[in-house]
Amino acid sequence: MTIIVPIYNEIDNLDRVEKTFLEYLAQSPTKSQVLFVDDGSRDGSFEKISKICEHPDFHFIKFRQNRGLSTAIKAGIDHANTELIGYIDADLQTTPFDFDKLLGEINTCDAVIGYRAKRKDTLSKKIQSRIANAIRRKLIDDGVIDTGCPLKVLRTDKVKKIPFFDGMHRFIPALLKLEGGEIKQMEVQHFERIAGQSKFNIFNRSIKPLQDAFAYRWMRSRYIRYEIEQTDI
């Protein structure tokens, strides 16, 4: 598994990220590597990442400038060459140790998506996320409990086929379903952010997801699907 970790100005978290992933990789039965995607950080994060990546199980991609979370995830997927892809945020509000829980179900589906039943966020963040999730479910009816949960395990061959656009990180399960993928959902642990600053606000938690939901509805109505019955190629 390649574990994608997008990084944008997370210097205060990176010592803990390194320690936590070294512990996880040492005990996990699944052979994994970590791929940091530095999204144009300006706080010294990349200098720290480059030192972490002296370890053979850690690798990096560095953007020339900030391009956003969806682009960082896409770059990680584009460069993954393993059967499975994991995704987790650098704030460690979820834990890589829960990957093993999700991996236990991946043989029966195309993606296992975590959901945060006991969130440790501020009240305002909880309200914003609930509004965004409610709007998304109403508009696209994808059946996903918590599409913003930053802990996922995906089959690489499936996720490489889905269309990408800015904001697609909110719609990975829905986009996989467009490709005929099967999704499972499992409860995962959630923790308070103890370092660094959240990159989300009322605009990119509520207003932007509403715009993206309409974009997804438009794309879904025009999505190309076909099955070949015969060919002589």
Say how far apart CA 53 and CA 7 lie, in whole Å.
Answer: 14
Q: How many CA atoms lie within 13 A of 87 on its CB side?
A: 28
Whole-structure pTM value:
0.84
Could you tell me the pLDDT band of residue 199, with boundaries at 50, 70 and 90? low
Asked if the model's pLDDT at residue 180 lies above 90, the reply is no
Percentage helix, strand, coil for the chain under 3-state DSSP, each rounded to 5: 40, 15, 40
CATH superfamily of 2-121+147-194: Spore Coat Polysaccharide Biosynthesis Protein SpsA; Chain A (3.90.550.10)
What local confidence, expressed as pLDDT, does residue 203 receive?
Answer: 52
Asked if the model's pLDDT at residue 102 lies above 80, the reply is yes
Check: CB of residue 153 under 8 Å from CB of residue 185.
no
Could you tell me the pLDDT band of residue 37, with boundaries at 50, 70 and 90? very high
Could you tell me the pLDDT band of residue 69, with boundaries at 50, 70 and 90? very high
Structure-model confidence comparison of residues 129 and 103, the more confident one: 103
Copy the structure tokens of residue 221. 């109505």
Starting at the edge strand found earlier in the chain, the sheet holding 84-88 runs: 58-62, 33-38, 2-7, 84-88, 151-155, 111-115, 183-187
Asked if the model's pLDDT at residue 38 lies above 70, the reply is yes
Say how far apart CA 201 and CA 158 lie, in whole Å.
Answer: 31
Q: How many CA atoms lie within 13 A of 75 on its CB side?
A: 21
Lowest mean pLDDT among 140-149, 151-160, 175-184: 140-149
**Three-class DSSP labels, 65-77:** CCCCHHHHHHHHH
Average pLDDT over residues 8-36: 97
